[in-house]
Structure 1
Amino acid sequence: MGLNPASNMRVPLKYVCEDVDRHGNVRCYVRTPGKRKVRIRALPGTPEFMDEYQAAIATAAEAPPRQADEAKKGSFRYLCIRYYASAAYKALDISTRNWQRRALDAIAVEHGAKPVSMMQARHVRRMRDAKGATPAAANQLVKALRALFSWANEAEETTANPTIGVKKLKYRSDGHHTWTDEEIQKFYESHPLGTKARLALDLLRYTTGRREDAPRLGRQHTRDGRVRFRQAKNEHRNPIDIDIPLHPALAASIAAANVSTNMTFLLTEFGKPFTANGFGNKFKDWCRQADLPHCSAHGIRKATSTALAEAGATPHEIMAITGHQTLEEVERYTKAASRKKTADAAMQKLQRG
């Protein structure tokens, strides 16, 4: 637990520890099992502290374990350790680093000591097919290996790439459930205007932000009748800046929640900013309280995109709101809306006939 020197309160964050230097100053660190500790210099309880905390968690995850020296050069585990320490890996967003590392570390549990030069495409296919019951996870494994060997070839750590020719599994998935108007109203009935849950949904709904974006929004992002923020996804590689009108319903929700002066509108019960994962979990709790266990934060983004398409917005207009960079994703919404309108028109003709 970290100590907040300004308030003498404990900060309930996982892996946070403290010590006191010879001048009596309290120093906070992130110390994960078997990894080097990482110093947090910002004052606990501030947004800067949470930013450093998240970065420290990622840095600790990237740091080679203490038994790294035992990894034999040329082994799969050794290659993974080299990749985690590379500039290419560190340039990735935290969420990308995390899922890549989970996938690669899972492979290393069984195959870490094996010579990476012996890995062939058939081995990758075998590992992929072993996860056939969960095709999304199987494809993520292949994607993580491709990233690893793409870096390894460029860095001249290896000369072969066993992922070449390995295809992803084909499967049908509609992704996150798209909220219906009825489900949104049901959520509103359970979480009325002025509640934190209602504000959370309105932030998602009227900014089309992801779960990483909503907990970062605050007064500095809503000025002069507009909402301006940089999307968290790919912000370090390919940043996307959003600049959209402040919807009256969102303005009313912010005012009712009495958070218009906050640097982050959404705070935990401890008065601290949410992490992306923490917000996602909390939002799922609010959904369950509204008897909507199948709904999620990302489904709101899809619902607003659908509503824009049904209102007649063009793909480029939708992209300006959502921050999508290709037409392919957005055209799904507009095509579906077009089919719906065409079907309605056709049925009206049948009724007149």
Structure 2
Amino acid sequence: MDVKTPGVKAYWSNGKKYYYHRKSGVRIKEKYGTLRFALKVEELNQIHEPEKFHSIPGTWGELVERYRGSEEFRRLAPRTKSDYQKIFSYLSGTRMAPLERITPVSLEKLKNHALKERKRDFANKLRSVMSLTFNFGVRNDICKKNPAEKLRKIPRDKHKPPANRPWTNEEITTVLENAQTAEIAAGIGLSAYTALRSGDMLSLKWSDYQNGFIQCQQSKTGDFVWVPVIAELKAILDKMDRKSPWIVLNTRGKPYTSSGFQTQFQKLKRSLIEQGKIGEGLTFHGLRVTVATRLAEAGCTINEIRAVTGHTTNDSVERYVRTVDQKGQAQKAMQKLEQSKYKSV
């Protein structure tokens, strides 16, 4: 028999038991009764009920508590809050650490420990979240300095393939043709032809599709983007029944959660890989990379690409332009080499 966990509710469905966080309604996928389950509950509690958690003044715990209760934190997108809370939960054992005793050396050791336990992406996220939290503390006179400010980012292994490679046109077509439902195809198509992040795509309503444009307020930046709907996407959307205010619905006729949509996407991807219809390494975020890359290949300027993708700085876009420019320059160089084969030197 399960021992009731405060703040958690359970439902039976199709002979299986599912657990949900009562305050937020988020499904808890970790195995019931495990440490990971308990940490997830704590993470969700601290996001949605921060007023219940109090720490000793002058400690890391107090700094985190003050930051989580700030307007700055409340303005963050739900996905970003969740990502930050994963770091705070990981660091829960350091809540009592006095701020004045936290040094760059101790944080470097902590970062390297996270690298061994959770790998590179998590360690780098830990570094950035700790730094922004300390910066909040400095700005609000909670601490005197930011000991994480000069921690170096762990570089990516040069021998690993890109994390979010662009999709080929054939892969996009294959995945769209084999999508389990018209709604999943619509979700994939929206990101493949507008560069929307998955969270923003899932929040779209039919009212956001007007006069040949998709309009969206980005959850990450708060900025609005308006992207013209090209023929391929229009064909997908025109085939759909507008049976709900939201465009992308699950099989119960409700808007997908981020994890729910990703589960269906991963299932589709694994099936197509096993059948040899698509290559390895496809990610949903790779669709956003694909749009930016295609725009660069079409000769779009950095500002034109940013107008579509909604990037707030040039740095994030310049790498696509550089990559495409390198390919173009290499192609021209090899063409010249070909042309010079039979000429005397």
- TM-score greater than 0.5 by the shorter chain: yes
Which of residues 189, 202, 215 is equivalent to 1:228?
Answer: 215
Q: Distance in 2 between the 1:230 and 1:164 partners? A: 31
Q: Which residue of 2 aligns with 1:15?
A: 21
* 8 Å CA contact 1:75, 1:115 repeated in 2: yes
Superposed CA deviations along residues 253-276 of structure 1, whole A, max 9, x for unmatched, are 0122x2346421111111111123
1:152 aligns with 2:137: yes
Q: The residue matched to 1:14 in structure 2 has which SS?
A: strand
What TM-score, normalized to structure 2? Answer: 0.77
Q: Which residue of 1 aligns with 2:182?
A: 195
Which of residues 73, 97, 103 is equivalent to 1:120?
Answer: 103
1:85 aligns with 2:58: no
1:311 aligns with 2:301: no
Superposed CA deviations along residues 136-179 of structure 1, whole A, max 9, x for unmatched, are 22221121111221122222222343224322223357332221
Q: Distance in 1 between the 2:242 and 2:111 partners? A: 49
Q: Distance in 2 between the 1:208 and 1:88 partners? A: 27
Q: The residue matched to 2:20 in structure 1 has which SS?
A: coil
Q: The residue matched to 2:226 in structure 1 has which SS?
A: strand
Which structure 2 segments of 5+ residues have no match?
1-8, 12-17, 27-42
Q: Which residue of 2 aligns with 1:320?
A: 307
1:337 aligns with 2:324: yes
1:264 aligns with 2:280: no
Shift of 1:225: 1.7
Q: Which residue of 2 aligns with 1:249?
A: 232
Q: Distance in 1 between the 2:79 and 2:318 partners? A: 26
Percent identity for Structure 1 against Structure 2: 24
Q: Distance in 2 between the 1:75 and 1:153 partners? A: 14
* 8 Å CA contact 2:183, 2:250 repeated in 1: no
Q: Distance in 2 between the 1:131 and 1:98 partners? A: 18
Q: Distance in 1 between the 2:233 and 2:179 partners? A: 15
CA 1:196–1:96 in 2, change beyond 3 Å: closer, same or farther? closer
* 8 Å CA contact 1:179, 1:295 repeated in 2: yes
* 8 Å CA contact 1:218, 1:260 repeated in 2: no
Q: Distance in 2 between the 1:332 and 1:254 partners? A: 31
Shift of 1:252: 0.8
Which of residues 87, 95, 98 is equivalent to 1:103?
Answer: 87
Alignment length (residue pairs): 301
Q: Which residue of 2 aligns with 1:132?
A: 115
Superposed CA deviations along residues 258-310 of structure 1, whole A, max 9, x for unmatched, are 23464211111111111233323322222223225632211011111111211
Q: What is the letter of the counterpart of residue 290 of structure 1?
A: L
Shift of 1:203: 0.7
Q: Which residue of 1 aligns with 2:200?
A: 213
* 8 Å CA contact 1:202, 1:250 repeated in 2: yes
Q: The residue matched to 2:91 in structure 1 has which SS?
A: helix
Q: The residue matched to 2:311 in structure 1 has which SS?
A: coil
Q: Which residue of 1 aligns with 2:5?
A: none
* 8 Å CA contact 1:212, 1:233 repeated in 2: no
Superposed CA deviations along residues 31-90 of structure 1, whole A, max 9, x for unmatched, are 79xxxxxxxxxxxxxxxxxxxxxxxx9786242375x35x43333223322322222222
Q: Which residue of 1 aligns with 2:170?
A: 182
Shift of 1:227: 1.7
Which of residues 284, 309, 319 is equivalent to 1:297?
Answer: 284
* 8 Å CA contact 1:76, 1:108 repeated in 2: no
CA 1:334–1:148 in 2, change beyond 3 Å: closer, same or farther? closer
* 8 Å CA contact 2:24, 2:48 repeated in 1: no
* 8 Å CA contact 1:204, 1:214 repeated in 2: yes
CA 1:233–1:277 in 2, change beyond 3 Å: closer, same or farther? farther
Which structure 1 segments of 5+ residues have no match?
4-11, 17-28, 33-56
Which of residues 141, 156, 164 is equivalent to 2:126?
Answer: 141
What's the Cα RMSD here? 2.9
Q: What is the letter of the counterpart of residue 314 of structure 1?
A: T
Shift of 1:125: 0.9
Q: The residue matched to 2:320 in structure 1 has which SS?
A: helix
Q: Which residue of 2 aligns with 1:45?
A: none
